[in-house]
Amino acid sequence: MRRLVTTLLLLSMGASWAEPACPPPEGVALQVLGSGGPIADDARASTAYVVWADGRSRALIDMGSGSFVRFGEARVDFTELDFVGLSHFHTDHAADFVALLKSGNFAGRERPLPLAGPSGNRRFPGLHDFLAASIDPETGAYRYLGGYLDGSGGLPRLVPTEVAGDADATEDLLGNSESTIAVYAQRVPHGIVPALGFRVEVEGRSIVFSSDQNGSDPAFIDFAKHASLLVVHMVIPEGAGERAKQLHAEPSRIGEVAAAAGAERLLLSHFMARSLRDLDGNVQRVADSYDGDILLAEDLGCYPIP
């Protein structure tokens, strides 16, 4: 009962904890651009997050359907981004990425843009195939943006990295750049869908993004160890069907993972009608195992990291 009271208190305080609005002039903050899922029934954009540091938008994780509008509302600056991560190629994580490239066409960016995504399998493209299908200058659906692949036409070149299942999660994806942020990727179990979690480190803070996953791989607990903020997608309620559990973690598993990782704070996101229906009950399941601060994502919510 104590935990329930504490959790509900934190939930009610969430709005004030999230002040001031992003970006704070100093320090690190996470801003949620999209806190929803793939169904247009919840007035939320699909998944997207931006990491702010000292007033600058440094890393973008996912660009799901609807997040294009939030990107503009949050005044994220395309020229400031050091990194874009696409966790997997479901529409609610990647559909607005090409629209962002078109918008970025007008931003005046010159330096290349590092980008990472998973390698593919028979059912899903890897990052290179996704880019080719989208913007290959000869065959891509949006071939008029093909300059992003080679830097022609005044467009900044994308620098894509595919992360395979056997990749080393301790390798900094930006290791060869001048960037003052570090980004790591780890494959996560999301049914048959190749998917990545990301860890962004800046100014001594670490923000770990679970992406969509079922929580079954203990390697992710190491990957998320002592995160300043762990962002986990609470898509399904407790007791969901087996097929859903192949794709997503139940709330009780989310709590176990966050506790085992020793995360300082937990931000629950990627809500859908089925996980919102008994939100308090689902959050309580998380809190049964995890006794740190639990926060609930809202579109444009700003979460400074002390």
Q: For Zn ion, which is the closer residue by CB, 13 or 39?
A: 39
Q: What are phi and psi of 80, to 5 degrees?
A: -85, -15
| Residue 198 CA: distances (Å) to CA of 84, 142, 224, 230, 233 | 10, 27, 9, 10, 13
3-state secondary structure of 187: strand
Nearest distance, CB of residue 247 and Zn ion, angstroms: 9
Q: Which residues pair with 269 in a beta bridge?
A: 233
**Residues at the site binding Zn ion, with contacts judged by CB under 5 A:** 92, 212
Nearest distance, CB of residue 154 and Zn ion, angstroms: 34
Nearest distance, CB of residue 121 and Zn ion, angstroms: 17
Which helix (H) or strand (E) is 2 found in, with range? helix 2-17
Q: For Zn ion, which is the closer residue by CB, 92 or 293?
A: 92
Among residues 295, 286, 280, 275, which one has the least CA distance to residue 251? 286
Q: For Zn ion, which is the closer residue by CB, 92 or 256?
A: 92
Q: What are phi and psi of 153, to 5 degrees?
A: 65, 20
Q: For Zn ion, which is the closer residue by CB, 174 or 232?
A: 232
Q: What are phi and psi of 33, to 5 degrees?
A: -90, -35
Q: For Zn ion, which is the closer residue by CB, 67 or 134?
A: 67
Q: For Zn ion, which is the closer residue by CB, 92 or 299?
A: 92
Contact 298/13 with Cβ under 8 angstroms?
no
Nearest distance, CB of residue 270 and Zn ion, angstroms: 6
Q: For Zn ion, which is the closer residue by CB, 62 or 162?
A: 62
String of DSSP letters for 222-289 = HHTTT-SEEEEE--S-TT--HHHHHHS--HHHHHHHHHHHT-SEEEEE-B-HHHHTTHHHHHHHHHHH
Contact 235/275 with Cβ under 8 angstroms?
yes
Nearest distance, CB of residue 1 and Zn ion, angstroms: 33
Nearest distance, CB of residue 197 and Zn ion, angstroms: 13
Nearest distance, CB of residue 272 and Zn ion, angstroms: 9
